C-alpha cells in the first residue's frame, strides 16, 4: 500500500526555480518521494498541518568530522595549528570503535534535530577496521542521509599528517564498499576522505586518488587553509600529478591562487566552505563570493564541534556576515560602492540546501522540494517570537530562525522529528556520548 504524508498549508520555499515559492502550499510525499508541490493537493494521506510553518528542503552539511561529538568544545580557543596537536595528536589516537559509534550516533541525531538531513561524514578516525564499522552502524541507525567519507587512521601527527607515507588501506575500503555500499542508491553512500599533497608524499596521494576512482566513489580533501596548507599549493600539485576531476570536493579553499580557482572550476570540482571555523581558527576568509565568481556553486559545512556550533544557521550567518564585512571594508577603503554581487539572504539558503546536494553528488535525489526527488523536508515554526512576523520567508530562515524552531524533520519520507521532538532514543545517545567523553578523558590522563 502506498504511504502518503501531506504537509498542508505551509509557506513552501522549494528552492527549485521551476517550482518556486508558495506562500500557502502543500507538499505530498508518497513512499518516501516528493510526489507533488502545489497550492492545494487533495490526497488520502496522513496530514501534517503546516499553518504558520516555513517548509524548506533539509540542510546539507558537506563536511563534518562527526566522530568529534564526544569531545565537543574541548578546543574552544584553538587555532588550526593548535587543533592538529590538541585533537589529531591527543584525542584521535585514543578513540575506540565504541567512541566512534557514540559520537556518530549523537552527532547524526544532532544534525537531524537541527534540520540537517544530509551529512558528509568526514571520518578520519579509522584506527582499526572496527572504527568504520562503528561509524557506519551509527549513521544507519539514525536514518540520516549521509555520505560516509572513509578517511585515514589518526594515531599520530608524524605518521599521518606530515609527508605521510601511509595510505588509506585500500583493502579495507574495498571491504566497506562491498559490505555496506553495494548500491549507490541508498540512504548512505561512500566517499574517500583524502589528505592530499603536502600532508602525504606523492605516491600516497596518487594511490589514494586511484583507489577512489577504481571504486568509483567521490573524493573529499581539505585544501588551502591557514598558513600550513595555504603554502602547499595543493590544487596546483594535484594538477601536476594529473589528478584533478569532477569527482572531487575541495574543503576550505581560503588561500587559493587565481590559477587554483580556475583549475578547480575547469575540472568540474566542487567546494565546501566552513565559515565559522575558518574565521575563528585562522583558516582564512570563507571564500563564498570568490567561488561564485568562478562559476562554482559553493556549499557550507560545520567541520568540528570541538570549536564551533553544529548547526547550519550558524554557518549561514557566519558566511553572510564575514563575506559582507570583507567586501564592505574593501569597498570603503577603495571609496567605491559595494558590488551588486553581494550575497543575499536567499542565496545563503540556496547554498545551505541545493548547493550542498550538488557538492555531495546527491542533487538528483535531494536539496530541493522537487517532485521526483526523495522527501528530505524541514518545517520551521515561524510563529515563534524570534521568527514572527514573517515578511520574507527566506530571510526568516536564513537570518532569524535557530535550532529551537526546527519543528519537523523528514528524511527519505520518514518523520525523524515531530512537534519539535526527535523520534529517537536521545537519552541513550547522550548517555553513550557522555560515557565516551569520560573514557577519552581518562585515557588522556593515563597517557600524560
Residues in the interface with Zn ion (CB under 5 A) total: 1
Task: State the Cα–Cα distance between residues 419 and 228, nearest whole angstrom.
Answer: 46
CB contact burial 212-230 (16+ within 10 A = b; e otherwise): beebebbbbbbbbbbebbb
x/- map, 26-65, Zn ion, by CB under 5 A: ----------------------------------------
Q: Smaller CB distance to Zn ion: residue 318 or 397?
A: 318
Considering only the stretches 197-205, 299-307, 397-405, 436-444, report the one whose residues sit in contact with Zn ion under the rule CB under 5 A: 299-307
Tell me if 303 contacts Zn ion by CB under 5 A: yes
Q: Smaller CB distance to Zn ion: residue 26 or 303?
A: 303
Considering only the stretches 12-20, 43-51, 280-288, 297-305, report the one whose residues sit in contact with Zn ion under the rule CB under 5 A: 297-305
* CA dihedral for 241, 246, 247, 248, sign (positive or negative): positive
Task: State the Cα–Cα distance between residues 356 and 358, nearest whole angstrom.
Answer: 5
- Provide the CB-side half-sphere exposure for 256 (13 A, CA): 24
Task: State the Cα–Cα distance between residues 244 and 194, nearest whole angstrom.
Answer: 13
Q: Smaller CB distance to Zn ion: residue 61 or 303?
A: 303
* Pair 273, 286: CB distance under 8 Å: yes
Place of cell 558590488: 339
Shortest spacing between CB 122 and Zn ion, in angstroms: 6
**Residues 6 or more apart whose Cβ sits within 8 Å of residue 63:** 120, 122, 220, 249, 251, 272, 274, 301, 302, 303
Site for Zn ion in 404-423 (CB under 5 A): none
DSSP 370-414: -TTSB--EEEEETTSTTTPSPS-HHHIIIII--GGGEEEEEETTE
x/- map, 369-388, Zn ion, by CB under 5 A: --------------------
Q: Smaller CB distance to Zn ion: residue 254 or 380?
A: 254
Q: Smaller CB distance to Zn ion: residue 13 or 312?
A: 312
* Pair 120, 147: CB distance under 8 Å: yes
Shortest spacing between CB 299 and Zn ion, in angstroms: 13
Q: Which cell numbers hold the place of 388?
A: 514572527
Shortest spacing between CB 261 and Zn ion, in angstroms: 20
Shortest spacing between CB 307 and Zn ion, in angstroms: 11
Shortest spacing between CB 63 and Zn ion, in angstroms: 6
Considering only the stretches 89-97, 237-245, 300-308, 386-394, report the one whose residues sit in contact with Zn ion under the rule CB under 5 A: 300-308
- Provide the CB-side half-sphere exposure for 372 (13 A, CA): 5
Considering only the stretches 39-47, 124-132, 156-164, 295-303, report the one whose residues sit in contact with Zn ion under the rule CB under 5 A: 295-303
Considering only the stretches 131-139, 303-311, 312-320, 396-404, report the one whose residues sit in contact with Zn ion under the rule CB under 5 A: 303-311
Q: Which cell numbers hold the place of 374?
A: 526523495
Q: Smaller CB distance to Zn ion: residue 278 or 350?
A: 278
Shortest spacing between CB 137 and Zn ion, in angstroms: 22
Q: Smaller CB distance to Zn ion: residue 67 or 180?
A: 67
Pairing of strands 377-381, 406-411: antiparallel
Shortest spacing between CB 303 and Zn ion, in angstroms: 4
Shortest spacing between CB 15 and Zn ion, in angstroms: 25
Considering only the stretches 103-111, 126-134, 302-310, 364-372, report the one whose residues sit in contact with Zn ion under the rule CB under 5 A: 302-310
Q: Which candidate, 218, 209, 303, places its Cα nearest to that of 252?
A: 303
Q: Smaller CB distance to Zn ion: residue 303 or 363?
A: 303
Q: Which residue is nearest to Zn ion (CB)?
A: 303
Shortest spacing between CB 205 and Zn ion, in angstroms: 18
Helices (H) and strands (E) in the chain, counts: 16, 17
End-to-end CA distance of the chain: 60
Shortest spacing between CB 333 and Zn ion, in angstroms: 32
Q: Smaller CB distance to Zn ion: residue 303 or 311?
A: 303
**Residues 6 or more apart whose Cβ sits within 8 Å of residue 445:** none
Q: Smaller CB distance to Zn ion: residue 247 or 303?
A: 303
Residue numbers at the binding site for Zn ion (CB under 5 A): 303
Amino acid at each position: 500500500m502506498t504511504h502518503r504524508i501531506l504537509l498542508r498549508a505551509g509557506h513552501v520555499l522549494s528552492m527549485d526555480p521551476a517550482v518556486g515559492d508558495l506562500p500557502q502550499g502543500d507538499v505530498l510525499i508518497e513512499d518516501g518521494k516528493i510526489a507533488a508541490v502545489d497550492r492545494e493537493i487533495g490526497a488520502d494521506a496522513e496530514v501534517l498541518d503546516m499553518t504558520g510553518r516555513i517548509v524548506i528542503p533539509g540542510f546539507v552539511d558537506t563536511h563534518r568530522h562527526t566522530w568529534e561529538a564526544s569531545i565537543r568544545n574541548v578546543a574552544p580557543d584553538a587555532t588550526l595549528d593548535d587543533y592538529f596537536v590538541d585533537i589529531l595528536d591527543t584525542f584521535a589516537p585514543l578513540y575506540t570503535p565504541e567512541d566512534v559509534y557514540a559520537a556518530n550516533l549523537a552527532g547524526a541525531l544532532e544534525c537531524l534535530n537541527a534540520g540537517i538531513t544530509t551529512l558528509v561524514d568526514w571520518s578520519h578516525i579509522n584506527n582499526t577496521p572496527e572504527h568504520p564499522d562503528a561509524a557506519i552502524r551509527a549513521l544507519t541507525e539514525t536514518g540520516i542521509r549521509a555520505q560516509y567519507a572513509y578517511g585515514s587512521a589518526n594515531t599520530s601527527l608524524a605518521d599521518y599528517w606530515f609527508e605521510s607515507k601511509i595510505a588509506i588501506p585500500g583493502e579495507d575500503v574495498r571491504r566497506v564498499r562491498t559490505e555496506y555500499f553495494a548500491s549507490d542508491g541508498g540512504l548512505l553512500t561512500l566517499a574517500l576522505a583524502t589528505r592530499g599533497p603536502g600532508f602525504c608524499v606523492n605516491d600516497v596521494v596518487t594511490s589514494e586518488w586511484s583507489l577512489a576512482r577504481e571504486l568509483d566513489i567521490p573524493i573529499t580533501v581539505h585544501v588551502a587553509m591557514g598558513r600550513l596548507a595555504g603554502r602547499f599549493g595543493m590544487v596546483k600539485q594535484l594538477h601536476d600529478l594529473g589528478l584533478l576531476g569532477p569527482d572531487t570536493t575541495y574543503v576550505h579553499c581560503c588561500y587559493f591562487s587565481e590559477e587554483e580557482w580556475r583549475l578547480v572550476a575547469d575540472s568540474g570540482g566542487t567546494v565546501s566552505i566552513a565559515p565559522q571555523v575558518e574565521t575563528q581558527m585562522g583558516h582564512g576568509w570563507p571564500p563564498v563570493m570568490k567561488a561564485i565568481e568562478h562559476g562554482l556553486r559553493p556549499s557550507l559545512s560545520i567541520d568540528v564541534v570541538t570549536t564551533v556550533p553544529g548547526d547550519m544557521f550558524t554557518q549561514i550567518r557566519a558566511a553572510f556576515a564575514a563575506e559582507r564585512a570583507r567586501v564592505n571594508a574593501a569597498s570603503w577603503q577603495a571609496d567605491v560602492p559595494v558590488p551588486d554581487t553581494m550575497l543575499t539572504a536567499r542565496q545563503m539558503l540556496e547554498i545551505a540546501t541545493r548547493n550542498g546536494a550538488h557538492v555531495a553528488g546527491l542533487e538528483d535525489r535531494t536539496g530541493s522540494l522537487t517532485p521526483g526527488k526523495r522527501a528530505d523536508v524541514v518545517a520551521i515554526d515561524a510563529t515563534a517570537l524570534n521568527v514572527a512576523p514573517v515578511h520574507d520567508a527566506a530571510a526568516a530562515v536564513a537570518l532569524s530562525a535557530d535550532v529551537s524552531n526546527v519543528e519537523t524533520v523528514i528524511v527519505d519520507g520518514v518523520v525523524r522529528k515531530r512537534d519539535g521532538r526527535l523520534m529517537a532514543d536521545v537519552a541513550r545517545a547522550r548517555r553513550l556520548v557522555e560515557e565516551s567523553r569520560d573514557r577519552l578523558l581518562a585515557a588522556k590522563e593515563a597517557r600524560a
